[in-house]
Structure 1
Amino acid sequence: MDFSQPRQRFYQAIHPPDDRIDLALAALCIAQEEYPELDIEAYLNTLDTMAAEVREQLPAELYPLRVIRCINRYLYEDLGFAGNRDDYYDPRNSFLNEVIERRTGIPIALSLLYLEIAKRIEFPMEGIGMPGHFLIRPVFEESQIYVDAFNGGEVLFPEDCRERLSQVFQQPVELRSEFFQPVSSRQFLARMLTNLKGIYLSCLHVTKALGAIDRILLLFPDAPIEVRDRGLLYYHLDRLGQAKQDLERYLELQPQAEDAVRIAGLLDRLQEKD
């Protein structure tokens, strides 16, 4: 593969086993593709400094809720971090360097910042990829505490989560156990990139959307929707050989897909152009 330097560094960052992936490093590699001059080490050092400042403020008794209150006070009161409601779909909200600099972002990006500080003070937390919203929770047995990093670190219990989802979808939502499953590091990064993909497609930034898909496929090479969407973008860019390869691969992965007939028809048109 012919990778640019940021892409190569991202590939290296996601190469270790999932539980050893450095999420902050990988996220900054995603950002470096947008900001080629980005100094990744400087932002990692910033996270170290932030965590050290939190550690100085920790209470003597490290009960989970007390630690969460300490992190919340530091991030949201002292530094003024907040969810970006005014311009939610600004791509800068998804880049960790911009989140740190501008002190705002979307739920998953603010959750990443929170997780990285918690990790550095040895307070393990994990991401919870609920549909339509991203939360985090402390890692201890039968934890029923969730933290909404987008909403000032608000502490939620399962019933609060149901209400939050009902607000997101504007209709009653019944909780299901899969809503509360922790996400792996690769799933976390793929969700960040999927957000960027959607933003770029809505703005018709086809090349940038293609770059997001390429990186999702580095994480999950056989993700059928991404293979299909990359093939369709290749077709849009008149890169017909690559389009044909991806669309054929999509039908191999999903022969019973709802759009299989439409994709097969597109492949027939590509065959006629050969």
Structure 2
Amino acid sequence: MDEAALALALLDHDEIDIGPYEDVLSDIASRLDGIGAGVANSSKRGACLAQVLAGEFGFSGDAETCDDPDNADLIRVFDRLRGLPIGLSILYVAAARRIGQPYESGLRAR
């Protein structure tokens, strides 16, 4: 899913190297793997995801300009550290899948 979202974003940013964005996803997954090791409860897995993505990497929803097209462009979500819930969900699911955990089952809207 993250690869598809980055590929779609590249349609508007053909000059950008997506390597650094993939590196951030790997860094998020590594950090999640570090703090989430052994966490079996889905609510606690969701809390670990929130801690890493929001608390440590600084991603958040864009409540001020929710109609801004940059909120749906995964490259711009990375650059701005904010986006629509669906864009942030892609990051959550991508991080969880990269470490082989079913984190997505523990996510709840906040």
Partner of 1:252: none
TM-fit CA distance, 1:114? 0.7
Number of positions where the alignment pairs a residue of Structure 1 with one of Structure 2 = 110
Partner of 1:48: 26
Give the secondary structure class of the aligned counterpart of 1:49.
Answer: helix
TM-fit CA distance, 1:124? 2.7
- Any residues of structure 2 matched to 1:122-141 within 5 Å, and which? 122-124=100-102, 137-138=104-105
Partner of 2:88: 110
Partner of 2:4: 26
Partner of 1:71: 49
**What is the rounded CA distance, in whole Å, between the counterparts of 1:106 and 1:37 in structure 2?**
24
Higher RCO (C-alpha under 8 Å, 6+ residues apart): 2
**What is the rounded CA distance, in whole Å, between the counterparts of 1:78 and 1:42 in structure 2?**
18
Percent identity reads: 29
Q: Aligned AA for 1:123? A: Q
Give the secondary structure class of the aligned counterpart of 1:86.
Answer: coil
- Any residues of structure 2 matched to 1:143-182 within 5 Å, and which? 146-148=107-109, 154=110
Aligned residues of 2:61 and 2:84 also touching (Cα < 8 A):
yes
Q: Aligned AA for 1:38? A: I
Partner of 2:75: 97
Alpha-carbon RMSD? 1.7
**What is the rounded CA distance, in whole Å, between the counterparts of 1:28 and 1:75 in structure 2?**
18
* Larger Rg belongs to: 1
**What is the rounded CA distance, in whole Å, between the counterparts of 1:33 and 1:72 in structure 2?**
29
Aligned residues of 1:96 and 1:109 also touching (Cα < 8 A):
yes
- Normalised TM-score (structure 1): 0.38
Unaligned runs of 5+ in 2: none
- Any residues of structure 2 matched to 1:192-271 within 5 Å, and which? none
**What is the rounded CA distance, in whole Å, between the counterparts of 1:86 and 1:34 in structure 2?**
23
Aligned residues of 1:59 and 1:66 also touching (Cα < 8 A):
no
Aligned residues of 2:32 and 2:48 also touching (Cα < 8 A):
yes
Give the secondary structure class of the aligned counterpart of 1:42.
Answer: helix
Aligned residues of 2:46 and 2:107 also touching (Cα < 8 A):
no
Extract structure 1 runs of 4+ deviating beyond 3 A: none
Aligned residues of 1:59 and 1:67 also touching (Cα < 8 A):
no
Q: Aligned AA for 1:57? A: I
Partner of 1:85: 63
TM-fit CA distance, 1:146? 4.6
